[in-house]
């Protein structure tokens, strides 16, 4: 039996939650800390620690080894640590569109991308400006033309750094793709500079 199982089952009144996640302390020994997931405990003032209920009873409660073993042999542990529920990934959803693409067009022009390429991407609905932060949104579509991927690129720098990230729930195998043969070099440049993806 672990020390946390023993305390939770038989001496729950001694346990007091600390500000640290998954950590408890004893009400009668404030330098004693125990983790509810691993059951690792440490009594800082005595510089001792462990995991098992046996070691806890001997080192902290001062029981003799034989008495502690007898006590634990009589027990039928019934405490089962709570399992944290797995969080489901949110479904993929495109960010809301702004009414125009003026800001991202100016930004991409400044980065050396021509109006022709930007217009192509906007008209094929694989690039647009988002609400409310005016990020450039690069959309990836599957074979049927359904949006499955969105990569956001901040067009304003903060503390000398730009920002870029993917939307939750994206299908990683579907990315921002373009098919304008005449401007392939420029499009590859846009992909490389803005997203830092291999070409």
Predicted structure pTM score: 0.46
Q: Which of 128, 101, 108, 100 is nearest to 187 (CA)?
A: 108
* pLDDT block averages, 10 residues each, the chain of length 199: 88 89 88 90 88 90 89 64 67 89 91 87 91 88 83 73 56 55 54 43
In the beta sheet, which residues pair with residue 42? 33, 49
Six token digits for residue 71? 């006590």
Question: Residue 175 gets which letter from DSSP?
Answer: -
Cα 156 off chain centre by? 24
Six token digits for residue 25? 């302390």
pLDDT for 99 equals: 94
pLDDT for 156 equals: 77
β-strand pairing of 41-43 with 23-26: unpaired
pLDDT for 190 equals: 56
Q: Three-class SS of residue 190?
A: helix
Which element (helix H / strand E) includes 70?
Answer: helix 65-74
Residue tagged 């991409």 (tokens)? 108
pLDDT for 33 equals: 92
């Amino acid at each position: 039996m672990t020390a946390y199982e023993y305390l939770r089952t038989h001496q729950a009144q001694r346990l007091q939650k600390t500000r640290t996640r998954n950590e408890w302390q004893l009400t009668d020994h404030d330098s004693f800390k125990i983790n509810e997931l691993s059951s690792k405990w440490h009594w800082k003032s005595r510089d001792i620690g462990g995991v098992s209920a046996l070691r806890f009873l001997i080192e902290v409660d001062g029981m003799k080894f034989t008495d502690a073993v007898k006590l634990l042999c009589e027990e039928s542990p019934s405490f089962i640590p709570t399992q944290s529920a797995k969080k489901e990934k949110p479904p993929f959803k495109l960010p809301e569109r702004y009414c125009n693409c003026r800001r991202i067009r100016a930004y991409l022009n400044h980065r050396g991308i021509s109006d022709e390429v930007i217009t192509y991407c906007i008209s094929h609905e694989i690039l647009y400006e988002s609400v409310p932060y005016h990020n450039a949104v690069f959309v990836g579509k599957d074979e049927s033309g359904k949006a499955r991927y969105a990569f956001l690129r901040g067009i304003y720098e903060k503390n000398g750094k730009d920002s870029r990230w993917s939307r939750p729930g994206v299908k990683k195998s579907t990315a921002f793709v373009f098919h304008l043969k005449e401007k392939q070099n420029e499009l590859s440049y846009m992909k490389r500079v803005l997203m830092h993806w291999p070409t």
